[in-house]
Amino acid sequence: MKFLSGSKFLLVFVLAFVLVGCCGTKLSYRDSNTTFGAEAVKPFIESGELAGVITVFCKDDLQEVNCSGYADLENKRPITLDNTFMQCSQTKGFCGVTIAMLVEEGKLSLDDPVAKYLPEFKELKVKVEDADGKTSLVPAKNVLTVRMVMNHTGGFPFEIPTKSKKGWPSLSLRDTAREAAANPLLFEPGTKANYSNTGIDIGAAIVEVITGQPWEVFLQERVFKPLEMNNSTFNPSDEQLANSILLYLVGVGKKAQFREYHNAMPLPHNGPNVYPSAGAGLWTTTNDQLKFYKMLMNLGVGENGVRILKEETVLNFLATSTRPEALGNYSLGLFADFKNGTFGHGGAWGTSANINWRKKELRLIVVQLNGSLKPLYDKINEASNKFFNMQADTSAIDEYTGRLK
Task: Provide the pLDDT confidence category of residue 130 given band limits of 50, 70 and 90.
Answer: confident
The yes-or-no verdict on residue 96 having pLDDT over 60 is yes
Q: What is the pLDDT of residue 345?
A: 98
Q: Write the pLDDT tens digit of every residue in 288-322.
A: 999 999 999 999 999 999 999 999 999 999 999 99
Q: What is the pLDDT of residue 391?
A: 56
The domains found in the chain, sorted by start residue, are: 30-90+215-388 (3.40.710.10), 97-211 (3.40.710.10)
The yes-or-no verdict on residue 23 having pLDDT over 70 is no
Task: Provide the pLDDT confidence category of residue 25 given band limits of 50, 70 and 90.
Answer: low
Q: What is the pLDDT of residue 131?
A: 78
Q: pLDDT > 70: what percent of the chain?
A: 90
Q: What is the pLDDT of residue 342?
A: 97
Q: Write the pLDDT tens digit of every residue in 72-93.
A: 999 999 999 999 999 999 999 9
SS3 string, the chain, reads CCCCCHHHHHHHHHHHHHHHHHHCCCCCCEECCCCHHHHHHHHHHHHCCCCEEEEEEEECCEEEEEEEEEEECCCCEECCCCCEEECHHHHHHHHHHHHHHHHHCCCCCCCCEHHHCCHHHCCCEEEEECCCCCEEEEECCCCCEHHHHHCCCCCCCCCCHHHHHHCCCCCCHHHHHHHHHHCCECCCCCCCCCCCHHHHHHHHHHHHHHHCCCHHHHHHHHHHHHHCCCCCECCCCHHHHHCECCCEEECCCCCCEECCCECCECCCCCCCCCCCCCCCCCEEEHHHHHHHHHHHHCCCECCCCCECCCHHHHHHHHCCCCCCHHHCCCCCCCEEECCCCEEEEECCCCCEEEEECCCCEEEEEECCEEECCHHHHHHHHHHHHHHHCCCCCCCCCCCCCCCCC
Q: Write the pLDDT tens digit of every residue in 29-41.
A: 899 999 999 999 9
Rounded-to-integer distance, Cα 156 and Cα 239, Å: 36
When pLDDT is averaged across residues 351-359 and rounded to a whole number, the result is 97
Average pLDDT, the chain: 91
Closest CA to 206 of 157, 162, 273, 148: 148
CB 231 within 8 A of CB 84: yes
The yes-or-no verdict on residue 377 having pLDDT over 50 is yes
Angle at 369 between CA 225 and CA 29, to 5 degrees: 45
The yes-or-no verdict on residue 122 having pLDDT over 70 is yes
Task: Provide the pLDDT confidence category of residue 132 given band limits of 50, 70 and 90.
Answer: confident
Q: Write the pLDDT tens digit of every residue in 150-189.
A: 999 999 999 999 999 999 999 999 999 999 999 999 999 9
